[in-house]
Structure 1
Amino acid sequence: MTNPNPMKMLLLALVLSVAGICTGSSAHAQTSLIQNAPGHRVLSLNGSWNYIIDPYENGFYDYRREAFDKSASGKGGYYDNQKPSNAQETELIEYDFDHSPALQIPGDWNSQDPKLLYYEGTVWFKKSFTLVPKAGKRYFLYFGAINYESHIYLNGKKLGMHKGGFTPIQYDITSQLSATGDNFVVVKADNTRHAEEVPTINTDWWNYGGITRDVFVAETPETFIVDFKVQLAKNDPTKLMGYVQLDGAGKASQTVTLNIAEAGIKQTLKTDADGHAAFSLPAKKLKLWSPLSPKLYAVSFSNGTETVQDRIGFRTIQTQGQDILLNGKSIFMRGISIHDENPLIPGRARSEGDLRMLLTWAKELGCNYVRLAHYPHNETMLKLADEMGLLVWAEVPVYWTIAWQNPATYQNAEIQLSDLISMGKNRASVVVWSVGNETPLSDPRLKFMTSLVKKARALDDTRLIAAALELHRTPDFVIHVDDQLGEFLDLTSFNEYVGWYWGGSPSEISKYKFDIKYNKPVVISEFGGDALAGYHGTAETRWSEEYQESLYVNQIKLLSTIQGLRGMTPWILADFRATRRQHPVYQNGFNRKGLISSTGVKKKAFYVLQEYYRQQAAKYDTGK
């Protein structure tokens, strides 16, 4: 046997760390994400969690900066949730979760505690819960998202570490639940920014910290349906393809029944030695999903011990020359960009109500399409888009200046992309996987980005792959779109800010023209300008609603000169918090490019875009 290569071992350790797997003896690997995890029987852990602010990380390291959870005993950290062992309380314990303040989970810490508004660092969270494990059942602790690096402990034992602020985290906790039913979970959440992470140090949105999405424990049989995919074959509305995957000791040679009763589809499948069963079936009776007719079918898988259900729509999406074809018909994608933030709180969206409000605003604007920027959004958002008839651009936070040559950074990005695709692969609304936004040109960047494109296509060849490309201007007022990454993508998408960051006032926008290299559909991923709601002036008065209104009027005229224009997602639906935006009068910590203010007021530009979308809707019919 040859000796292991030290560099390869180091790289493997880095990859495992990024993947959310701790290499310490007390940790367990994160198991494959359960498809439609909320659809199982769950015990919600949402609600009040005690928290401790820990900027020096006293609860994680001793005074020699050695991690307690890597010591011989594994004891000493806040995750032990210690209490005095005698009535006299003579022991020195310098923390107490039960007497610490509480935050509501899901929810970021910035918007719930004024002293944490700008805080970046470690906060510990603790939740006690009662769950008596049943024989023949398995239990999975599931977090929708924790920003950014999280260390998770159950009953004082480490489950693992995860990096990535917007993708789910899940651990099998069956063997670690207390037989008495008394349990507690402790989370170390750290939103500190680092140059080698994804996203990197420099972003243009608020770095909300904490446990920002739902937390629950899912109960399953010992052998259960962990994953499935049910979608139309690539560009073929007559064929239904997919798979089902079992997990557990009895996963081999099991019978699984796929049932779509309304469509008259029922098929018995047999799993292989790995618990996997693929299928390909006729789909002639399926009514196709579209924004005008967002038809969803009740789809179930049964294996004798459980039945897993989902609501799934079926459609095809492809490009042909400069057209985007939904179900074989040309469409114009009338869109808007959205952050995962409720501007009225303000803070991370915390509930289905928050998410439904954002998408309802988009529908009122006349949208059939939303860009969920600049990171994976809540799984509930994708399900609501299915239900409400909105096409979705879903994105990973490969944003601006990533550490292109760091192998661990790439693995981090690829894992976040894989988790995003796993979460959204059964959602008819998702038609675009985006691998990044405004990434500066270089050979390492091109290698990094094209590797992500290949990964996305390998995981899902039924959707379009895109990114917000780089562009450059020349003194003759030409905007050149020739980013080499565009060769590998299905759409030509780019952000341009004529009339705001460059190009003078809105009246000067007409001077510009486009030189686009690629004969592909053009979908403008961003344009816009700031306006403080209620501030009025002339069309030349920056920050006024009239300036933003004029910018939209002239941008629409400019963009309409693009022959292959097939959609847009202006920046952005609603004002959102952004630390970079520091003008004390007009911004005050908010990016004001929203068409809706931070108090829910529609600005004048809202109605300009609404009218343009009304005209486009009259030209295209996505329902036939």
Structure 2
Amino acid sequence: MTLRTEYPRPQLVREDWQHLNGTWQFDFDDDDKGAFDKWFAPTRSLSSTIEVPFAYQTPLSGINDPSFHDIVWYKRKFSVDRHWQGKRVLLHFGAVDYRAFVYVNGKYVGMHEGGHTPFQFDITEELNWSEEEVTVRVEDPSTDETIPRGKQYWIEQPAAIWYTRTTGIWQTVWLEAVDETRVDKVRWQPDLDRGEVILSFETKGSYANCVLEVDISFKGVKVVTDTIAVQERFTKRAYDLLNRNIFRTPFHHDGWTWTPENPNLFDVTLTLKQDDQTLDQLQSYFGLRKIHTEHGMVYLNNKPYYQKLVLDQGYWPEGLLTAPSDEALRKDVELAKAMGFNGCRKHQKVEDPRFLYWADRLGFLVWGECPASPSYSTDAVGRLTREWMEIMERDFNHPSLVAWVPLNESWGVPLVSHDRQQQHHSLAMYHLIKSLDPTRPVISNDGWELTQSDICAVHNYNHGEPEETDKYAYFKQSLSTKEHILRSRPARRGVYANGFSHRGEPILLTEFGGIAYRAGADSDSDKGWGYTSVTTGEDFLREYRRVIEAVYASQAIHGFCYTQLTDVEQEINGLLTYDRQPKCDIEQIRKINSLWHLTTITDPSFSGQE
């Protein structure tokens, strides 16, 4: 049964498409003989089957084998709609971990390196317009510590904070029919202060005599209609959304903006025409919102905004990195919001665009992050840099995305505290992302040993067990003021790397908590992993409140990210179980999250009590 049939690219939707998810032929190639023996040939069948887009390590794949297999092959026969003849046919892959070599009807069409971002090939010339066959050879070096792998463990059995690997196709494979001349890229950049949105787009093919018709609507009311004469491959146009339309629409200015509380979106239709003939049509959307830092705080739409985030690893027991369904992605957003969180830090994962779609639609802040390489090398630098450029290309338009995190806890830069080369890498990633996206804050090294950064993001799990009152008192004191936070060394590491210091940027506690609790009859916390542990739901709520009160008592912290949303494999420190069942009354979590925060009460003597 095919579980993932929803449209995979919600920011740019075309009508002519078909997915290739479902049953594929499959084989391990542990001896790396498939290329030499021409497994890509149409006459060659593979020995097993797999359900795409689920990795072979998962139950939903039908294989469920967590052992090392560094080279795997896929094959699938398919047919192309004959109405697509005369158009170009693109073969898309949402993500393949880590290197993919693609063949169509036995002919090599290209390769892609990078396990977390999309790629495509024009396969028109390889089609025979009868029965077609696509073959994919994947390399995923299980123990290579220079590739961005995030939480995927380079040792065969998962342990502590490291999880089972994901190899091969793990996001949707799909076909798309397009004209030779078409819209190739679209970027929406809102400018709240001017009440504008800037449309940038690129065309592919011959754009002579082409126009792009732009229709922007808000809640069913058209606010912009424009026709752009396409005279260059790259075109930019700014649209005044508020001032010129205020007398034509019933909406007040404040009702136009995107926030987690009111996730207002503008819907867009882009139609490319040449001599009155429609060549391409895309459905898109954007949100009018601004995120920036000022006066030691984060501002959303020019108002101080206290971010209450939850760490979200994006793993599922039946699919690992791949959600079992689109509804599962939506449910994660809804559960987090029901617990009083207004966003998440998507940890060590480039999440499926469908998650960002639901975050846009439902109103949920997202911090975007890329899996880290365990080790530092020039190869690791190049690989991380290339992935980040592709991440920015894919995700820039999502209003829910409000921050970028290129490095985490000095993973991949273990000597960044003092090594100038690794510091330059941290700075290079910061400036690269800022050069590609001037609209969002960038956190240079979330946790500690920051270089230049727009947010001072600190991790501290030292709250202690309930009976460790002295440890808790020290934890609370270490968070109480800016001076205490900047002097703290919660993981025996300084908050800033040598040669760098706090320059007034907002201070957020971006990892803390991690309370282990195994729901159900088996409450033996030794069988799972967390930072501290409890054995009942009542104790869990009491502990959660205790650590949140320490955060809310701080005079310097302007937002937090609690660890974590769900259990993952051996980690049992989630607010939800691995299969998304609440461990306690989520309404009580919501009440605790709603106790107080610094932007609403300014009395520093307030204890955090209701």
C-alpha displacement of 1:614: 2.2
Matches within 5 A, 1:184-195: 184-193=133-142, 194-195=144-145
Deviation digits for residues 108-144 of structure 1 (CA, Å, limit 9, x no counterpart) = 2112345612334222111110115644311111011
Query: Are 1:293 and 2:262 matched, yes or no?
Result: yes
Q: Which amino acid aligns with 2:517?
A: A
Report if aligned partners of 2:28, 2:69 keep a CA contact under 8 Å in 1: no
Q: 2:165 aligns with which of 207, 230, 235?
A: 207
Report if aligned partners of 1:51, 1:103 keep a CA contact under 8 Å in 2: yes
Report if aligned partners of 1:553, 1:608 keep a CA contact under 8 Å in 2: no
Q: Which amino acid aligns with 2:485?
A: D
Q: 2:473 aligns with which of 497, 505, 510?
A: 510
Q: State the alpha-carbon separation in 2 of the partners of residues 115 and 599 from structure 1.
A: 17
Query: Are 1:592 and 2:566 matched, yes or no?
Result: no
Matches within 5 A, 1:275-294: 275-284=233-242, 285=245, 287-294=256-263
Report if aligned partners of 1:574, 1:593 keep a CA contact under 8 Å in 2: yes
- Number of the residue aligned with 1:307: 281
Matches within 5 A, 1:34-49: 36=11, 38-49=13-24
C-alpha displacement of 1:562: 3.2
**Are the structure 2 counterparts of residues 115 and 356 from structure 1 closer, same or farther at C-alpha, using a change threshold of 3 Å?**
closer
C-alpha displacement of 1:451: 0.9
C-alpha displacement of 1:42: 0.7
Q: State the alpha-carbon separation in 1 of the partners of residues 344 and 524 from structure 2.
A: 30
SS in structure 2 of the partner of residue 78 of structure 1: coil
Q: State the alpha-carbon separation in 2 of the partners of residues 606 and 507 from structure 1.
A: 29
Report if aligned partners of 2:146, 2:375 keep a CA contact under 8 Å in 1: yes
Deviation digits for residues 555-582 of structure 1 (CA, Å, limit 9, x no counterpart) = 22332343332222212111113xxxxx
- Number of the residue aligned with 1:530: 516
Matches within 5 A, 1:384-423: 384-398=358-372, 401-403=374-376, 405-406=377-378, 408-423=379-394
- Number of the residue aligned with 1:265: 224
**Are the structure 2 counterparts of residues 541 and 329 from structure 1 closer, same or farther at C-alpha, using a change threshold of 3 Å?**
closer
C-alpha displacement of 1:147: 1.4
C-alpha displacement of 1:321: 1.5
Q: 2:58 aligns with which of 111, 121, 130?
A: 111
Structure 2 runs not aligned, ≥5 long: 1-7, 155-160, 246-252, 274-278, 479-483, 487-501, 602-610
Matches within 5 A, 1:80-95: 80-83=41-44
Matches within 5 A, 1:320-339: 320-339=294-313
Q: State the alpha-carbon separation in 1 of the partners of residues 543 and 549 from structure 2.
A: 10
Q: 1:56 aligns with which of 25, 28, 31?
A: 31
- Number of the residue aligned with 1:21: none
Matches within 5 A, 1:84-163: 96-97=45-46, 100-112=47-59, 113=62, 116-131=65-80, 134-163=84-113
Deviation digits for residues 434-482 of structure 1 (CA, Å, limit 9, x no counterpart) = 11211132322221121111111111111121244343xxxxxxxxxxx
SS in structure 2 of the partner of residue 357 of structure 1: helix
For the aligned residues, what is the CA RMSD?
3.0
Query: Are 1:226 and 2:184 matched, yes or no?
Result: yes
C-alpha displacement of 1:524: 2.1
Report if aligned partners of 2:317, 2:579 keep a CA contact under 8 Å in 1: yes
Q: What's the TM-score, normalizing by structure 2?
A: 0.80
Report if aligned partners of 2:78, 2:133 keep a CA contact under 8 Å in 1: yes
Q: 2:193 aligns with which of 217, 229, 236?
A: 236
- Number of the residue aligned with 2:202: 245
- Out of 109-118 and 141-150, give the one that drifted further: 109-118
Q: Which amino acid aligns with 2:558?
A: R
Report if aligned partners of 2:457, 2:507 keep a CA contact under 8 Å in 1: yes
Q: State the alpha-carbon separation in 2 of the partners of residues 379 and 211 from structure 1.
A: 15
SS in structure 2 of the partner of residue 167 of structure 1: coil
Deviation digits for residues 16-51 of structure 1 (CA, Å, limit 9, x no counterpart) = xxxxxxxxxxxxxxxxx9994553421210111111
C-alpha displacement of 1:165: 1.7
Deviation digits for residues 184-234 of structure 1 (CA, Å, limit 9, x no counterpart) = 11112233231221237657233122311111011111100111112313x
Report if aligned partners of 2:318, 2:324 keep a CA contact under 8 Å in 1: no
C-alpha displacement of 1:420: 1.5
- Number of the residue aligned with 1:28: none
Report if aligned partners of 1:229, 1:243 keep a CA contact under 8 Å in 2: yes
Q: Which amino acid aligns with 1:296?
A: L
- Out of 455-464 and 517-526, give the one that drifted further: 517-526
- Number of the residue aligned with 1:72: none
Report if aligned partners of 2:12, 2:283 keep a CA contact under 8 Å in 1: no
- Number of the residue aligned with 2:455: 491
C-alpha displacement of 1:509: 2.2
Query: Are 1:167 and 2:117 matched, yes or no?
Result: yes
Structure 1 runs not aligned, ≥5 long: 1-32, 61-67, 69-75, 84-95, 472-482, 578-589
Deviation digits for residues 335-380 of structure 1 (CA, Å, limit 9, x no counterpart) = 1111222246666313211211211211111121111111210011
User: Aligned pair count?
Assistant: 528
**Are the structure 2 counterparts of residues 432 and 540 from structure 1 closer, same or farther at C-alpha, using a change threshold of 3 Å?**
closer
- Out of 526-535 and 220-229, give the one that drifted further: 526-535
Report if aligned partners of 1:468, 1:525 keep a CA contact under 8 Å in 2: no
Q: 2:427 aligns with which of 450, 453, 458?
A: 450
**Are the structure 2 counterparts of residues 379 and 365 from structure 1 closer, same or farther at C-alpha, using a change threshold of 3 Å?**
same
Q: State the alpha-carbon separation in 1 of the partners of residues 358 and 67 from structure 2.
A: 31
SS in structure 1 of the partner of residue 519 of structure 2: coil
Query: Are 1:427 and 2:398 matched, yes or no?
Result: yes
Report if aligned partners of 1:298, 1:311 keep a CA contact under 8 Å in 2: yes
Report if aligned partners of 2:52, 2:170 keep a CA contact under 8 Å in 1: yes
Deviation digits for residues 375-395 of structure 1 (CA, Å, limit 9, x no counterpart) = 210011111100010011111
Q: State the alpha-carbon separation in 1 of the partners of residues 223 and 86 from structure 2.
A: 33
Q: What's the TM-score, normalizing by structure 1?
A: 0.78
Q: State the alpha-carbon separation in 1 of the partners of residues 313 and 194 from structure 2.
A: 33
C-alpha displacement of 1:608: 5.9
Deviation digits for residues 91-118 of structure 1 (CA, Å, limit 9, x no counterpart) = xxxxx33xx3322111121123456123
Q: Which amino acid aligns with 1:424?
A: D
C-alpha displacement of 1:596: 0.7
Report if aligned partners of 1:237, 1:315 keep a CA contact under 8 Å in 2: no
Matches within 5 A, 1:300-379: 300-304=269-273, 305-343=279-317, 348-379=322-353
**Are the structure 2 counterparts of residues 165 and 576 from structure 1 closer, same or farther at C-alpha, using a change threshold of 3 Å?**
same
- Number of the residue aligned with 2:3: none
Query: Are 1:564 and 2:556 matched, yes or no?
Result: yes
Q: Which amino acid aligns with 1:190?
A: E
C-alpha displacement of 1:334: 1.5
- Number of the residue aligned with 2:493: none
Q: 1:77 aligns with which of 16, 33, 38?
A: 38
The sequence identity of aligned pairs, in percent, is: 21
Q: Which amino acid aligns with 1:418?
A: M
